[in-house]
Structure 1
């Protein structure tokens, strides 16, 4: 059975300010095959998001020259809960694309990692509710009228969902993904989503028609080799905590996660089971499919 992809790249992003290597920095894991078609993996660690973006661009350019197809996974949300774009007053459709455009126009992320994510979260709160929600959580020095250090009281902004459908689908047992609205505190993902989406948008712009993003650009359905044949890269959202990544001696936790996640999708593809991972769960309603395809996105493998 033909594999969908030749290589699998997983990027563990960060919203950190300042240059940093090691734990809680940018890690990129690559699983690919050697000349004898044996699977092997390598990991890269860079000190800034700008370096991470440049590295991803060069890895993708190398694979493209070889005629390879690459699955590229990012460990942050590629969409927001249904209704977010409308609350921001964004009228263009599809909602995911107009929201990406809004973030690209508002986020300033400099080469030294300094960024304005807290100011953008506050601006989005002002536009959505004119209150300090749905985004919440900031260091004391970043707190202001539209962004507080603590979670707003239960019921605040109650008509704005805390989670997307995909997070609700995996919030069982040990897996407790954080909400996109949480900007600060242990495990918060709000910041890396804000700085991450514009980076993905730039990468896709560079790729042009040879790049696509699932499920927005492909539809939420099983993908065949015919679907991915014209592509050099397909971008997806991943949640590395779904796979048990025990670090090898001397490995950082984030490093182990990108390696194991890349290997997981490579093995799934090898077994011919990756096609099905792109499809919605059995019994998904038409309304849910539209919500996922048009605004929220989905975690691959959820």
Structure 2
């Protein structure tokens, strides 16, 4: 069986409000074939999200020119917990409606100045008319509908604190957390609009897993005419040692790319796109419609 992908692009995102490089900034890892058809890794550390988006477009254009299909992994949630779209009264496919809502609300300047805390506050106002469920902001961004700390626990009538995938990944943070260490909420707010533009620029040649592919094992037949599959990844799931001079984020994107490449080489990567064994039907449906899943979580 042939490999599903020729290249593996892993993106460690950042919601930083100013240009930054090094640790805790944006790292893009690319594992692709060199002139001798051997897998070779290179990484890019862009100071801003605008520069990273430009870099990603260039990488993907080059791979398309070489007729190489890519797996593109982003380390932020691609969907919200089940019920979000209904609570927001959004129309259409829940995952896509949420993507479009963020696309309309997020302002991200070339300098990395952004309005992610305002967006979280706006969404809270619409969801509960209070500082819930999003939480976490520096003092200057605290508002009546966004508090610096978590205001209360999630109850039976609330949107879930975690997606099914977050629980399966054991240690993944909640998307509602928008500040402090592990604030994947801020990263999702700032990352989804970029993923949306990358997807829309390529229409059907780019598929978002599991929303557009189905939550199932993928085969070559499923990927006809597809140049790239976009997926959520969680680099902490992959363990390994750093190379000399690497920062943690750089190591993680390299190890994650190498991990998926090894699975693909062994004709086992397709299976990773399927639900873990024993996953309930309603969980599969939630993942496909709204929540998404973390590639490899629960396996």
TM bracket, shorter-chain basis: over 0.9
Question: Which residue of the partner structure matches residue 86 of structure 1?
Answer: 86
* Structure 2 equivalent of residue 170 of structure 1: 169
Q: Is the 8 A contact 2:169 2:294 kept in 1?
A: no
The CA distance in 1 between the partners of 2:169 and 2:295, in whole Å, is 11
1:238 to 221, 233, 247: 233
Local SS of the residue matching 1:18: coil
Counterpart CA distance in 2 for 1:280 and 1:93 is 24
1:151 paired with 2:146, answer no
After superposition, the C-alpha distances for 1:18-61 in whole angstroms (9 at most, x for unaligned) are 11111111100011122333222111111000000000001100
- Deviation string 1:80-101 (CA, Å, 9 cap, x unpaired) is 10001111121x2210000100
For 1:169-224, what per-residue CA distance to the aligned partner results, in whole angstroms no more than 9, with x for missing partners? 122xxxx1110000111121110100100000000111122111000011011000
Is 1:36 equivalent to 2:36 in the alignment? yes
- Structure 1 unmatched ranges of 5 or more: none
1: CA distance, partners of 2:65 / 2:237: 32
Q: Shift of residue 282 of structure 1?
A: 1.6
1:107-126 mapped onto 2 (5 Å cutoff):
107-126=106-125
Q: What's the CA shift string for 1:60-90, capped at 9, x where partnerless?
A: 0011011110000000000010001111121
Q: Which consecutive unaligned segments of at least 5 residues does structure 2 have? A: none
- Which residue pairs with 2:104 in the alignment? 105
Distance 1:155 1:104, change over 3 A: closer
Match of 1:74 in 2: 74
TM-score by length of 2: 0.97
CA RMSD of the aligned region, Å? Answer: 1.1
1:205 to 176, 200, 224: 200
How many residues matched?
297
2:255 maps to 260
Contact 1:27–1:44 (CA<8 Å) still a contact in 2? yes
What CA distance in whole angstroms lies between the structure 2 residues aligned with 1:9 and 1:17?
24
Alignment partner, residue 48 of structure 1: 48
1:81 touches 1:296 (CA, 8 Å); kept in 2? yes
Contact residue 133 and residue 157 of structure 1 kept, 8 A: no
Deviations 1:88-135 (A, max 9, x none): 121x22100001000000000111101000000000000001110100
Alignment of 1:186-225 (within 5 A): 186-225=181-220
